[in-house]
Amino acid sequence: MNPRFCSLFSVTLLAIAVSATAFAAPGRPAKAGADGSLQEIQVTLFGQPCTMSGPFPRASLALLHEISPEKLPPDQTVEQMKRVRAKTNELKGMPMPIEQYRDHLRKRLSAKIAFEEAVVPARKAKNARRALDTFLTNVKEHISTLQYPSFAETTKKSFEALGSAWTESFVGPLRERFENSIQPDTEEEFHKAIRTVKIQYVCAFDDSDHRSDDDGDE
């Protein structure tokens, strides 16, 4: 399994658990926010049944869950990213922290989609060097003007060093470098935003695996 996926999965799981316990103790309902009564919906989080609650309409909670980190695995396809991006356009009328998360997520997804859609024709192009120029043009708008010159220069040097071919040994590091140059990952922002607006997840995670690990250490 991809080590990066394992790391992201663990961080997400921990953050959600902290978010849940920060707002309500087991068996004690969270208090409603000042803007409305507490609403709850049932969701699935990494295969586990959870309750998502907050002082917002159920439809808004459902939409927010649909654009949460749980819906964004590291190996997501372009079509998956497009579906989540479309959901960001439906979520409206939420407090500023949620809307900022939504906008930042949309921006990052748009950049990642542009990258993948630019790589496909580049791999098939007869003139690899010309394809590189086209690729850089297609992704330029998603990188800040301060970072783009360095990104482009490093990309060209790497391309030459790896034989001027669109192989995975070139594209893999290029993807990672690109994702570090665009709108930052929004996972931590999501957890901070839901805490701020008093939205919580309460999940009944199965900790039998953890108990087994602990028993094995005795």
| Cα 53 versus chain centre, distance | 21
pLDDT value for 218? 47
Check whether 185 has a pLDDT greater than 70: yes
CB 54 within 8 A of CB 196: no
Find tokens 């990052």 and name the residue: 108
pLDDT value for 205? 67
Please report, in angstroms and rounded to a whole number, the separation of the first and last CA atoms in the chain: 28
Give me the domain span that covers residue 166: 3-217
pLDDT tens by residue, 27-57:
344 444 445 689 999 999 888 999 999 999 9
| Alpha-carbon gap, residue 12 to 21, rounded angstroms | 14
When pLDDT is averaged across residues 12-30 and rounded to a whole number, the result is: 40
pLDDT value for 206? 64
Domain total in the chain: 1
pLDDT tens by residue, 94-143:
999 999 999 999 999 999 999 999 999 999 999 999 999 999 999 999 99
